[in-house]
Structure 1
């Protein structure tokens, strides 16, 4: 926040300096088309620089706010697929499915600080449940035991911010579902060349290579081999 204030103060000082220089040019002599065009170009360059600087600062501020929100969600998980009832006790339902499928020792209602359904009711499928655990260690125990939900119709996911959720969906679309996962609010990706990457915003995602350079050479050799065989077959005929 202090960095943003400093940037705004610097831009304000630069703006006042440019306006002062322009005013001095008006006071010192007659205005010509050439001088006016030069002043305009100089002022336009400054305005574009100022706008780009502000845009970068706003993006940086948005990233920091997003990180703070993810820290606030550190004790939370989303539980999907739990059947929904109008008169349900959400916390008791979560305790039941965790006890039946994950086998977490000592898990009880006291282990959950709060829980509620997310979104509006739907007849098509039950809404996910946002669960805030009493401490991070317990949350992590449930998270790393999530394979116990396999074949049950239940799943667990991290409670990502909207921007990170969209980023995760885009990453899965680009690199495949099995190549992307989340951990502690960050998106982890295995690129086609086998390298591991971590993404928090789009700039991270766009910097990841989408093609593998390692596979290009073997494919070329294979093609050359097939071409050579084809030539030998023609000669034999």
Structure 2
């Protein structure tokens, strides 16, 4: 879908360039009587084509947002756990249970509350950075309790994040760079940014950031979230198991 949007933008730019070249040629023509009618036809044609391209672009953007929302709904019960050391022949489900029970003090949480659990991506071998653990809860209310208590992980070296779509993840990272970590957060798959006016703004894509604070170009150094780059293999595996 992103490729289609980019192709449409390139098509509009290319068409505009060709039309500008045609206009230049018309202005240099030596036959005034025929030029008037030709120029009028050209203007009508240009207006029609540009309107059509804009309408197509709006429809594609709408479809992209709808698909993004649908994909995010499929991820609503999924969370990512970062910073848990990897072990050979580990049981990731038990690692999640241990973290939730001991660090988040959710004593009633058990392995059966998890429907799926695994590390994301391929093993990095000798890398010091452990891969995040993706785990899907059976009950949305259990997921909400865990997410609301994630602040208890502060200082432990372990963090938790939502499994955002690429569009929302890119928007979240861009917002953190532009506005600062403390003014950006996610809840139920929605990215929020606290604007200079004190209002809370919902953001679904990078372009939405301009509506929060047009022209702001502040750059803040923030750590990268390991879940930000999903491989195509990881996305296919996650999508096939999203039921």
Normalising TM by the smaller chain, what interval?
Answer: 0.7 to 0.9
Residue 107 of structure 1, aligned match among 109, 112, 125: 109
Residue matched to 2:123: 121
Q: Deviations over 1:148-177 (max 9, x none)?
A: 212111111111001101100111111111
Cα deviation 1:163-222 (Å, max 9, x = unaligned) = 10110011111111101111111111111232221212234321113699xxxxxxxxxx
2:204 to 200, 203, 208: 200
Distance 2:98 2:200 in 1: 37
Structure whose alpha-carbon radius of gyration is higher: 1
Stretches of structure 2 that go unaligned for 5 or more consecutive residues are 1-32, 217-243
Does the Cα contact within 8 Å between 1:193 and 1:211 map onto a contact in 2? no
Report if the CA contact (8 A) 2:170-2:205 is conserved.
Answer: no
**Which residue among 71, 89, 92 is the counterpart of 2:73?**
71
Distance in 2 (alpha carbons) for counterparts of 1:160 and 1:129: 14
Give me the CA root mean square deviation: 1.9
Q: Distance in 2 between matches of 1:37 and 1:193?
A: 49
Structure 1 unaligned spans of 5+: 1-30, 213-237
Task: Normalising by structure 2, report the TM-score.
Answer: 0.71
* Cα separation, partners in 2 of 1:200 and 1:167, compared to 1, 3 Å: same
Q: Distance in 1 between matches of 2:110 and 2:55?
A: 51
Name the count of aligned residue pairs.
182
Give distance in 2, aligned partners of 1:57 and 1:210: 25
Q: Given that residues 192 and 210 in structure 1 are in contact (C-alpha distance below 8 angstroms), is that contact kept between their aligned partners in structure 2? A: no
Contact 1:90 1:116 in 2 (8 A): yes
Alignment counterpart, residue 82 of structure 1, candidates 81, 84, 108: 84
Greater alpha carbon shift after TM alignment, 181-190 vs 36-45: 36-45
Asked whether the equivalents of residues 75 and 132 of structure 1 are also in contact (C-alpha less than 8 Å), the reply is: yes
Larger RCO (CA within 8 A; separation ≥ 6):
2
Say whether the 8 Å CA contact 1:175–1:210 is kept in structure 2.
no
Distance 1:140 1:178 in 2: 21
**d(CA) in 1 for partners of 2:138 and 2:181?**
31
